[in-house]
Amino acid sequence: MVAKVLDGREIAKNYRAGLQEEVEKLKSEGITPNLTVVLVGNDGASQSYVNNKKKSAEKIGMKSEIIHLEETTTEEELLKVIDQLNNDTEVHGILVQVPLPKQIEETKILEAISPEKDVDGFSPINIGRLYAGMETYIPCTPLGIMEILKNADMSLEGADVAVIGRSHIVGQPVAKLLTDANATVTLLHSRSKNMKEVLKRSDVIVSAVGKPGLVTKEDVKPGAVIVDVGNTVVDGKLTGDVMYDEVAEVASAITPVPGGVGPLTITMVLNNTLLAAKRINNK
């Protein structure tokens, strides 16, 4: 079997075309969706993510600004910036890029973002709303993964899905979304005793660890669908968790890295910003 390549760039392009139409409609009613991204410090990868988010937002007609603060910014200073953005009626989506420098407590910052503008879905209120089945903002990478799976020609109904990695940003929320889609989910992590056995019987594997070479051909059931969320830089190249070439020989569908989940994550930032602009304006 040669796996179908789940082309994140193509899926994202189609999805963004739909978003662009909605942005244009909202603009004709006098509302321009605005995504404001806060970056603290000079981490190269974070800078490139943030620039990408701004460019992508502008490309579909949104307004987007980056507030770039110094590495030495204090928690108090950052909280002040967030407070201003919370109260700025022109701003619909607020995204504070993580990780933050050591002197700033991340949970305090995420808690300070208005839940109505928290397009990452990282605030404790929105995490709670997600698990309570209430209106919320669903974190962007999990939402992107679900969109990719819609393109995999398989049903999640009753399917065995293995999620590797239990982060608050990806592993745990995607396990929740997959469960809601009626899959049977096993959430695997570094302490899991039977990881290989679970992987081998799974219809879908979502790997979100950041450990190149973690998932091999031997781990994969023939015909399984593979979503690789890993993005580790190895010798200057973005590398996933999955041994792509060999796994593609047995899987029915697989995401590449780069060009798989990444473009969908950004797409869902735009999706949530549009949603925020609509909700704030009762549209």
> Which positions are annotated as active-site residues?
53, 97, 120
CA–CA dist 11, 55 (Å, integer): 18
- Binding flag, residue 67, ligand GUN (CB under 6 A): no
State which of residues 66, 98, 125, 154 lies at the interface with ligand GUN (CB under 6 A).
Answer: 98
6: left (phi over 0), alpha (psi -120 to 50) or beta: beta
- Binding flag, residue 177, ligand GUN (CB under 6 A): no
**In the complex, minimum distance from the CB of residue 95 to ligand GUN, in angstroms, rounded to a whole number:** 5
Residue 51 CB neighbours (<10 A): 13
State which of residues 6, 57, 95, 214 lies at the interface with ligand GUN (CB under 6 A).
Answer: 95
From 131, 228, 121, 241, select the one nearest 179 (Cα to Cα).
131
109: left (phi over 0), alpha (psi -120 to 50) or beta: alpha
Length reported for the chain = 283
Q: What is the DSSP string of 213-273?
A: T-B-GGGS-TT-EEEE---EEETTEEE-SB-HHHHTTT-SEE--SSSSHHHHHHHHHHHHH
31 burial type by CB count under 10 A (0-12 exposed, 13-18 middle, 19+ buried): middle
Site residue total, ligand GUN (CB under 6 A):
8
Stretch 130-169: interaction string toward ligand GUN, x if CB under 6 A:
----------xx----------------------------
Q: Residue 30 has what DSSP assignment?
A: T
- Binding flag, residue 97, ligand GUN (CB under 6 A): yes
Window contacting ligand GUN (CB under 6 A); options: 9-17, 73-81, 95-103, 250-258: 95-103
Closer residue to ligand GUN (CB): 53 or 63 = 53
- Binding flag, residue 120, ligand GUN (CB under 6 A): yes
Q: Which residue is nearest to ligand GUN (CB)?
A: 98
Window contacting ligand GUN (CB under 6 A); options: 18-26, 92-100, 232-240, 252-260: 92-100
- Binding flag, residue 243, ligand GUN (CB under 6 A): no
Q: Residue 215 has what DSSP assignment?
A: B
**In the complex, minimum distance from the CB of residue 266 to ligand GUN, in angstroms, rounded to a whole number:** 9
Q: Which residues contribute to the site for ligand GUN (CB under 6 A)?
A: 95-98, 120, 140-141, 265
